[in-house]
Amino acid sequence: MNAVVDHVAAHGFADLSLRGLGAAIGVSHRMLIHCSGSKEQLLVEIVRTTRT
């Protein structure tokens, strides 16, 4: 999750794709979906992580 948060902090949400995010942090987009459930839930987790 730290790599996801770091990437989003550097590049923003606007053009975020799971394929691009996965490639940037070295995991498959399917692994991101598996861990979070959906892109929307991943964004919720990013926000939740940055608030604590």
| CATH classification at residue 20 | 1.10.10
Domain that holds residue 40: 2-51
**Res 52 pLDDT > 80:** no
Considering only residues 13 and 23, tell me which one the structure prediction assigns the higher pLDDT: 23
Which helix (H) or strand (E) is 30 found in, with range? helix 29-36
For the chain, the domain total comes to 1
Mean pLDDT for the chain overall: 92
The pLDDT of residue 50? 87
